[in-house]
Chain A
Amino acid sequence: MTQTAAGEGEVGFPAPIHGDRRLRRWLGSRWQPGRWVNIGLPYFWLLLFFFLPFVIVFQISLAEPQIAQPPYTALTEWVDEAVLQVRLNLGNYALVVEDELYRAAFLNSLWVGLVSTLGCLLIGYPMAYAIATAPERWRVPLLMMIILPFWTSFLIRVYAWIGILKGNGLLNNFLLALGLIDEPLTILHTQTAVYIGVVYSYLPFMVLPLYANLSRLDMTLLEAAADLGCRPWRAFLRVTLPLSLPGILAGSLLVFIPVVGEFVIPDLLGGPDSLMVGRMLWTEFFSNKDWPLASALALVLLALLVVPFVALQRWQSRLEEER
């Protein structure tokens, strides 16, 4: 093979060599079986087990529930040999959008997402800023301490708060012993408990992207501001804060999106008034066995989250380009 190529070159035809190289590049980029397996295998897995399920959810959301196995009606039916009847039931969507209870659940979920994101930001921003400006050798251990709780069980960390917030729990016992309160506060099974649990569980998701952003901040800009007579607080508001907006956005999205669909925290810490979509979906599915309605709820929730989702995706690919 190499001999032929060299031989042709000697004769004085530059074109075949050029063509050979082009051919090899073409082969290299398109016909490597390794490359196909490399990209194709994970792609296939995600299409089959992540994308296809949504198609099926969409299909079932247009069906009607029935007491059978599976517990939903087929969309298509052969009426006689030549007529295929398609029945699309839009009633589930109408119910989700119009029913007061579901609307309240959606609004409350968005509200909880918003308040918890702000809570995470208020606690997380000073932490990320302190870590990013700490002496070099302290940064990695401090960061590890943020990540470590993320490795421990989510369910168990939520469970820990039940013992603390209960009527006769640790917080109330502590406050009673100090004499700050005369009778136990009711915190568990209220919306407040949900906020505490969510902020606690999602705090690392806010701190990490903020740290990534703040640690790359150009400190000379702050020095310049100080040299020009800007007070530290003002320099923070006018230099640091605007520059850290991408970090704030990323952290907020990483908290907001999953919190809106959260199930475990409102179920264990919340009360009857903390209606959230994730919890209603669970109830429709497991208690009422209404699969079509649960599917419609899932898709409306998904539609609500598409915009923040695309924003997150954009931010990630921009971060990738910056590297």
Chain B
Amino acid sequence: MKRRRWPLYSLLAFGYAFLYVPVLLLVVYSFNASRLVTVWGGFSTHWYGELLNNTQILDAAWLSIRIATVNATLATVLGTLAAMALVRGGRFRGRGGFELLLTAPLVMPEVIVGLSLLLLFVAMQHGIGWPDGRGFTTITIAHITFSMAYATVVIRARLAQMDRSLEEAAMDLGARPLVVYLRITLPLIAPALLSAWLLAFTLSLDDLVIASFVAGPASTTLPMVVYSSVRLGVSPQINALASLILLFVSLAVIIAGLALARKRD
């Protein structure tokens, strides 16, 4: 059955253009010499130099990276446990509720999550004295809560596809469940663990709304700085920062993708 495919492919090309052109324009204009973001004034890396001297942005970036690292690691651990429970756990009491609690953070509006977590932290501080004030710890806990749901989706998909015969062979040869788990299961789902870690890392690095609710006065993350600066209008420095973030994220995703592809071969 031969049919004309070009109308479909032109729609596809239009879709990709829609997705990529805004981001490409952003990167192009970060090399603009003019202070007016939308008027081209010649090529310059001036704004990148200015960015590297902006201590407010650098401090915020460092805080965000630390939060994202701790968040990604713990979210991957919890996500692995949750995925194991769902794929291998069979039936257990409260399974329905567990699945609901793992799906809800994926679509729950961020303002609701942020507000409810802040109220929890305030009530806990009032009641048991912990957490003492808000900042690094509260932002990290909030991020883990929604990142682990995403990590679970990624790891669960991989676990469900996995061939169980290796695990069964190890069991038959007398390996204890924990040994099988550590030496067979985890290495087999390693690519999914890496994707989950990267996803949790970028989700945390990107979050504005939830962090704004649960952050204390002394802790300002990178998206919070970007947001307050963007509210005042477009600025070439933010374009430069955006380009750097895009560069790092794309590099990380592409390197991880290549590493996984090589491992598969």
Contact = CB atoms under 8 A, between A and B. Distances in A.
B250 A57 contact: no
B246 A258 contact: no
- With most chain A CB atoms within 10 A of its CB, the pick from B3, B16, B119, B206 is B119
A49 B141 contact: yes
B19 A203 contact: yes
A312 interface: yes
Interface string A289-317: 00100110010011001000100110011
Interface stretch (B46-54, B55-63, B108-116, B186-194): B108-116
B116 A53 contact: yes
Contact of B205 (A29, A148, A153, A204): A153
- Do most interface residues of chain A lie in helix, strand or loop, or is the interface mixed? helix
Contact of B223 (A133, A155, A277, A291): A155
B89 A56 contact: no
A61 to B, nearest CB: 10
Given A42-B148, A126-B12, A263-B110, A32 B177 contact: yes
A261 to B, nearest CB: 2
Interface in A152-202: 152-157, 159-164, 166, 168-170, 173, 200
B208 interface: yes
Contacts of A320: 160
B245 A156 contact: yes
Interface stretch (A11-19, A33-41, A98-106): A33-41
A257 interface: yes
A278 B109 contact: yes
B3 to A, nearest CB: 6
B94 A43 contact: yes
Contacts of A285: 115, 213
Interface string B204-227: 011011001100000000010011
Nearest to A219: B1
Contacts of A309: 104, 107
B125 to A, nearest CB: 9
Given A56-B116, A127-B12, A162-B230, A155 B38 contact: no
A137 to B, nearest CB: 13
Contacts of B250: 148, 151-152
Interface in A246-283: 253-254, 257-258, 260-264, 268, 277-278, 281-282
Given A46-B101, A145-B16, A200-B22, A163 B37 contact: yes
A41 B78 contact: yes
A323 B239 CA distance: 44
On chain B, which size bracket covers the interface? 35 or more
A301 B116 CA distance: 13
A124 B15 contact: yes
A23 interface: no
Nearest to B152: A42
Contacts of A43: 85, 94, 98, 101
Contacts of A298: 111-112, 115-116
A127 B9 CA distance: 8
Interface string B118-141: 011011001000000000000001
Given A39-B92, A153-B206, A281-B115, A258 B107 contact: yes
Contacts of B255: none
Contacts of A107: none
A257 B111 CA distance: 13
A130 to B, nearest CB: 4
On chain A, which size bracket covers the interface? 35 or more
A162 B25 contact: no
B89 A49 contact: no
Given A34-B177, A313-B100, A50 B25 contact: no
Interface of A: 29, 32, 34-35, 37-39, 41-43, 45-47, 49-54, 56-57, 60, 70, 123-124, 126-127, 129-131, 133, 142, 144-146, 148-149, 151-157, 159-164, 166, 168-170, 173, 200, 203-204, 207, 222-223, 226, 232, 253-254, 257-258, 260-264, 268, 277-278, 281-282, 285-286, 291, 294-295, 298, 301-302, 305, 309, 312-313, 316-317, 320, 323
24 contacts: A39-B85, A43-B85, A45-B144, A46-B101, A123-B18, A127-B12, A127-B16, A145-B16, A149-B19, A152-B23, A155-B208, A159-B238, A163-B29, A163-B37, A254-B106, A257-B109, A258-B110, A261-B109, A261-B111, A264-B227, A282-B111, A282-B209, A298-B115, A317-B99
Given A70-B122, A254-B106, 17 more contacts: A29-B90, A34-B177, A42-B78, A43-B98, A45-B148, A50-B113, A56-B116, A127-B16, A149-B20, A151-B249, A152-B23, A152-B249, A160-B25, A160-B242, A163-B38, A200-B18, A317-B99
Interface of B: 1, 3, 5, 8-9, 11-12, 14-16, 18-20, 22-23, 25-26, 29, 36-39, 78-79, 81-82, 84-85, 89-90, 92, 94, 98-113, 115-117, 119-120, 122-123, 126, 141-142, 144-145, 148, 152, 160, 177-178, 181, 198-199, 202, 205-206, 208-209, 212-213, 223, 226-227, 230-231, 234, 238-239, 242, 245-246, 249-250, 253, 257
